[in-house]
Amino acid sequence: MDGYHVVVLRNPPRDLPQDLALPLESGEPWWYWLGARPALDLVNTRRERWRRDVETLVTPDDLSIWLIHAGLTDRPMRVPKAVLAEARELREAIDACVVAVVAGERVPAEAVTTIDDWLVHAGSRPQLRLEGGVPVLGERAAADSPRRALGMIALDAARMLGTDAERGRVRICGSDTCSARFYDRSPAGRRRWCSMATCGNAAKARRHRERRRRREVVG
């Protein structure tokens, strides 16, 4: 996870068009990367949780490509359909914990168990390889299989949810028309919006219109 990006917004989230044909054939055009952690970027592959509930990890190939974009693997890998289903299950377990933490509610035990079960895939895996004709004992790449990569996401979720300091920076965007989850890396820890360029500016514009209407009514 040390190599995972920590940039809050790698590319702006694109609103899903009203006339978008659902279900999607592939979700790749609609991924965004503003979670600031792999665990939350995975959660955000389920778009519009507040309305149409759009799945963007549609196919096994989607998951394979998403893991590359997320920086968890460096090459396409074969993803069985069962692993895609397991990835979605892990995603929802992480989100159940996030929702509970943000609301100050008790975290579901089954969600914690699901994340914990994945941690076995994040453990150290020794590897004996040749270097210059000499056998060298080392460790396998952090993500040499889809389950290994998902195990690393589970480990990130465990680190995020398992300590007060980390847990206290988990956020859900304050916009009523956004379901993005993100990790607040701001110094003050007071971010409300997934992105000021989108939801933040929209909220500012809405407040400006409301103030102008009030002035017109009073005037």
Q: Evaluate whether residue 17 is within a structural domain.
A: no
Give 144's pLDDT tier (boundaries 50, 70, 90): confident
| CATH classification of the domain holding 54 | 1.10.3300.10
| Whole-number Å distance between alpha carbons of 173 and 170 | 10
Q: Evaluate whether residue 199 is within a structural domain.
A: no
> Left if phi > 0, otherwise alpha if psi is -120 to 50, otherwise beta: which for 88?
alpha
Q: How many domains does the chain have?
A: 1
Q: Evaluate whether residue 210 is within a structural domain.
A: no
> What's the mean pLDDT in 14-21?
82
Q: Evaluate whether residue 102 is within a structural domain.
A: yes
Give 8's pLDDT tier (boundaries 50, 70, 90): very low
Q: Evaluate whether residue 215 is within a structural domain.
A: no
Q: Which domain holds residue 174?
A: 28-191
Q: Evaluate whether residue 13 is within a structural domain.
A: no
For the question of whether the overall pTM of this predicted structure is more than 0.85, the answer is no
**Quick one: which of 92, 89, 70 has its CA closest to 81?**
89
Q: Where are the alpha helices (DSSP H) in the chain?
A: 38-43, 60-69, 81-103, 109-118, 146-161, 164-167, 201-218
Per-residue pLDDT of 96-121, as tens digits, reads: 999 999 999 999 999 999 999 999 99
Asked if pLDDT for residue 209 goes beyond 80, the answer is no
Q: Evaluate whether residue 67 is within a structural domain.
A: yes
Q: Evaluate whether residue 43 is within a structural domain.
A: yes
Per-residue pLDDT of 188-206, as tens digits, reads: 888 888 876 668 555 555 5
